[in-house]
Structure 1
């Protein structure tokens, strides 16, 4: 068994977000699969066209999920089918949430759902570097304290394992046309990244 001490250090760093991500869903219930899929397809095309008209580029739009499933209702009633199409939208303009939401609601009406909104940092590499450095400093300080208590001196590092966490600002909503007749203004807060290091120091 290796001698030494194993400690855990963590470092958390925050930064201003630079990207807005919104996830819209288009859903429709119909008595048959073909009608459900066709309606969702038409409404999805309308939503995408509305978003494009508001300056969203092709590269900023993407499908994240398409689902069709049988919807069981009360016993004795006809079985229906639920179709859905989930669209992810990205924008560098953090103030556009209300405008994009209203455009999507106008396009899809009550077939629209808002599955999530998130402010994030596109490139977290610098924040991760800073958080990693803080985590290692904390781990070393802990190890030095424990070594002193035990009457040892620290030697070299023999093992490191890393875990990363991200804490972007996130909101979830259920949308209807009446609920979003006017623009909604949201204010982004800082996004954070956290790195946790498990470090094993050998005794000198």
Structure 2
């Protein structure tokens, strides 16, 4: 067994989000599979066209899930089929959520679903560098303290293991005036986005 000390250090750094991600879906029920799939396809295409008309590039639209399943109703009634198509929408306009949602609703009506909203930082590489440096500093400080308590001196680092965590939303809010029509402005607040790096570091004794 290697001699020395193993410690864990962590560092967290926050940054300002620069991308909005929304999961929008179309879900429809029909008496047969072919009709369910066709209707979902048509309305999904309409939603995509509406979003692109609002400036969303094709590269920022991607399918997340597609499903078709048999839908059982009350005994004695006809069996139907439920089809759904979920797409991830990315936008650099962080305050444009209301306009995007309204456009999607206009295109899909009551068959539209929304499965989540997330603010994120597209390139987190610099934040990860800063968080990693903080984590290593904390790990070394712990190791030096333990070494002094044990009457040893720290030597070289013999092993490092890293874990990364991402916290897309620390604070978020959606506000709409009570009783206002649906096409009223919907304001969202991005808040902060954080990344955290945890390092397990093994120091040998000098």
What TM-score, normalized by structure 1, do the two folds share? 0.93
In the alignment, which residue of structure 1 is the partner of 2:184? 182
- The structural deviation recorded for 1:126 is 0.3
- The structural deviation recorded for 1:152 is 0.9
In the alignment, which residue of structure 2 is the partner of 1:92? 92
In the alignment, which residue of structure 2 is the partner of 1:111? 111
- The structural deviation recorded for 1:76 is 2.4
2: CA distance between counterparts of 1:165 and 1:76? 51
Contact 1:10 1:138 in 2 (8 A): yes
Segments of structure 2 that go 5 or more residues without pairing to the other structure are 175-179
Output aligned runs, 1:1-204, within 5 Å: 1-169=1-169, 180-204=182-206
2: CA distance between counterparts of 1:12 and 1:179? 41
Q: What is the CA RMSD across the aligned residues, in angstroms?
A: 1.8
Contact 1:102 1:183 in 2 (8 A): no
> How many equivalent residue pairs?
200
- Which moves more between the two structures, 9-18 or 48-57? 48-57
**What secondary structure, in the 3-state scheme, does the structure 2 residue paired with 1:196 have?**
strand
1: CA distance between counterparts of 2:120 and 2:204? 39
Superposed CA offset, 1:127-151 (max 9, x none): 0000000000000000111111111
Change (3 A) 1:179 1:108: farther
Change (3 A) 1:151 1:179: farther
**What secondary structure, in the 3-state scheme, does the structure 2 residue paired with 1:11 have?**
strand
**What secondary structure, in the 3-state scheme, does the structure 2 residue paired with 1:139 have?**
helix
2: CA distance between counterparts of 1:157 and 1:100? 51
- The structural deviation recorded for 1:93 is 1.0
2: CA distance between counterparts of 1:180 and 1:51? 17
What TM-score, normalized by structure 2, do the two folds share? 0.92
